[in-house]
Amino acid sequence: MTADVAVLGAGMHPWGKWGRGFVEYGTAAARAALADAGLEWRDVGSIVGADTVRGGYPGYVAGATFAKALGWQGARVASVYAACASGAQAVNAARAQILSGLADVVLVVGADAAPKGFFRPAGGERHDDPDWLRFRVLGATNPTYFGLYARRRMALYGDTPEDFAQVKVKNAALGALNPYARYRKRVSAEEVAASAVVSDPLRLLDICATSDGGAALVLSSMEFARRHGAADPVRIRAVSTVTPRYPNTVLDLPDIATDSAAAVAPPDETFRASIARAAYEEAGVGPEELSLAEVYDLSTALELQWYEDLGLCGEGEGAKLLREGATALGGRIPVNASGGLASFGEAVPAQAIAQVCELTWQLRGDAGDRQVAGARVGLTANQGLFGHGSAVLAVR
């Protein structure tokens, strides 16, 4: 078990399709987080950015870009790329600096202006890039993987498209209560069923959109927080950044095949389950102690998978947990009280940070109409392309 770090501030730029640059979204989120913390940018000794793509050399940028926009002041800088887990790795890098005594206060920022439509790989002939190959050889978009997982759940556990639609109904109702969400309208099961099939059995409203957005956190040592007058801040108790273990036998985006289990028995838990377990172990907290969870609902069916991977229910029981209302606001363990990606869409470097923003507001009791009553322990879970685990456990 490691020591806690304090979350002094959280901030977001509202998500949507705003047509502006990621620097603007990230800077706005950073200023909001600093104001929330009651700190000036020049008080911050270190900035960590979750990378995004900009045209020039070397393509991926973040930390220094936001530092320049906020005004050069000499802060230590780091930038991290881990696909959808970039935000969690940025939080982890900041935490490591704080726990090692390299910095008292760290600003963590992620922002993006996402392209329209399907995500696609970088250009050129990239025969050594599994992401390029799956598009070129198979035409396998992200939603086709979501469709494979959904169909597999239907065959194994008897999940139905109506179950999947109810995830959207739940998350849209919560997103309607969140001023930072892109979509702020309730959605009915009939509307999901009437939307076009994208990748059988999933429809347009089962799959998250791409968005612009930004999110930021101000993290500090517990000692700094006390000196700063924050006696009882939200604390980050664990950050999981695990990789899979060989053989990884669940077909994972963007791979064309799994590892073979012919020579080595598969591990007794999947990669996704190991992401959550690492966070639980580091925090000394079990799933039964969670007040809420923010999970990576790229598709409605995938949210049900996370219920099981987080240990909120047994294998194959995700849809049952949903039907019982356990994961809705007011249920035993609300999931995606923010509205989730269903309501936000993907702004890749920002989303894992945005999940921690939501935990922060919930654990402070500041989440307004979507407040989970008496929230004390929250977990985020996420998975980055190419084997990047991501989970953050926060307590109050």
Binding site for another protein (CB under 8 A): 117-118, 120-121, 125, 127, 132-141, 143-144, 147-152, 155-156, 196-202, 246-247, 249, 251, 255-264
How far apart are the C-alpha atoms of 98 and 334, rounded to whole Å? 31
**CB burial readout 152-165, b (16+ within 10 A) else e:** ebbeebebebebbb
- Residue 59 CB, shortest distance to another protein, in Å, is 18
How far apart are the C-alpha atoms of 53 and 113, rounded to whole Å? 9
The token pair at 238 is 């664990």
- Residue 91 CB, shortest distance to another protein, in Å, is 27
With beta carbons less than 8 A apart as the criterion, state whether 42 and 61 touch: no
Please, which residue, 66 or 132, has the CB nearer to another protein?
A: 132
- Residue 258 CB, shortest distance to another protein, in Å, is 4
DSSP notation for 290-337: -SEEEE--SBHHHHHHHHHHTTSS-TT-HHHHHHTTTTSTTSSS-B-T
Q: What is the DSSP letter of 82?
A: B
With beta carbons less than 8 A apart as the criterion, state whether 342 and 208 touch: yes
How far apart are the C-alpha atoms of 175 and 272, rounded to whole Å? 25
With beta carbons less than 8 A apart as the criterion, state whether 189 and 171 touch: no
- Residue 86 CB, shortest distance to another protein, in Å, is 22
Please, which residue, 195 or 289, has the CB nearer to another protein?
A: 195
Please, which residue, 17 or 376, has the CB nearer to another protein?
A: 17
CA torsion 34-215-20-144 (nearest 10°) is: 170
The token pair at 56 is 């020039």
3-state class of 395 per DSSP?
strand
Please, which residue, 118 or 190, has the CB nearer to another protein?
A: 118
Q: Hey, which residues does 215 pair with through a beta bridge?
A: 12, 110
My answer on whether omega of the bond before 58 falls inside 30° of 0, hence cis, is yes
Q: Hey, which residues does 244 pair with through a beta bridge?
A: none
Please, which residue, 60 or 119, has the CB nearer to another protein?
A: 119
Q: What is the DSSP letter of 45?
A: -
- Residue 337 CB, shortest distance to another protein, in Å, is 30
Radius of gyration of the chain (CA): 20
- Residue 112 CB, shortest distance to another protein, in Å, is 18
Please, which residue, 143 or 349, has the CB nearer to another protein?
A: 143
Angle at 101 between CA 97 and CA 103, to 5 degrees: 55
- Residue 154 CB, shortest distance to another protein, in Å, is 8
Please, which residue, 102 or 197, has the CB nearer to another protein?
A: 197
3-state class of 128 per DSSP?
coil
Please, which residue, 73 or 260, has the CB nearer to another protein?
A: 260
- Residue 257 CB, shortest distance to another protein, in Å, is 4
How far apart are the C-alpha atoms of 208 and 183, rounded to whole Å? 11
Please, which residue, 130 or 311, has the CB nearer to another protein?
A: 130
Please, which residue, 194 or 256, has the CB nearer to another protein?
A: 256
- Residue 158 CB, shortest distance to another protein, in Å, is 12
- Residues shown for the chain: 396
Please, which residue, 262 or 373, has the CB nearer to another protein?
A: 262
- Residue 35 CB, shortest distance to another protein, in Å, is 40
- Residue 135 CB, shortest distance to another protein, in Å, is 5
With beta carbons less than 8 A apart as the criterion, state whether 17 and 344 touch: no
